[in-house]
Amino acid sequence: MTKAATPPVAIIMGSQSDWETMKNAADTLDALDIAYDARIVSAHRTVDRLINFARGARDEGFKVIIAGAGGAAHLPGMTAAMTPLPVFGVPVQSKALSGQDSLLSIVQMPAGIPVGTLAIGRAGAINAALLAAAVLALSDPDLADRLDDWREQQSAAVAEYPVDQA
Ligand X SMILES: Nc1c(C(=O)O)ncn1[C@@H]1O[C@H](COP(=O)(O)O)[C@@H](O)[C@H]1O
Instruction: Report the interface residues with ligand X, using CB under 6 A.
Output: 13-15, 17-18, 42-45, 69-75, 92
Nearer to ligand X, 31 or 85 (CB): 85
User: Is 105 known as a binding-site position?
Assistant: no
Residue 139 assigned as binding residue? no
| Residue 121: closest CA among 73, 53, 64 | 73
Q: Is there a binding annotation on residue 39? A: no
Q: Smallest distance, Å, CB 68 to ligand X?
A: 7
Burial of 109-129, coded b for 16+ CB within 10 Å and e otherwise, reads beeeeebbbbebbbebbbbbb
Q: Which is nearer to ligand X, 8 or 14 (CB)?
A: 14
Give the other-Cβ count within 10 Å of 163's Cβ: 6
- Minimum CB distance to ligand X smaller for 24 or for 42: 42
**Using DSSP, how many helices (H) and how many strands (E) does the chain show?**
6, 5
- The least CB distance from residue 9 to ligand X, in Å, is 18
Strands (E), 72-157: 87-92, 116-117
| DSSP summary character for residue 45 | T
CB of 107: closest distance to ligand X in angstroms?
14
Cβ closest to ligand X, residue 103 vs residue 143: 103
Residue numbers belonging to the annotated binding site: 15, 18, 45
Residue numbers belonging to the annotated binding site for substrate: 15, 18, 45
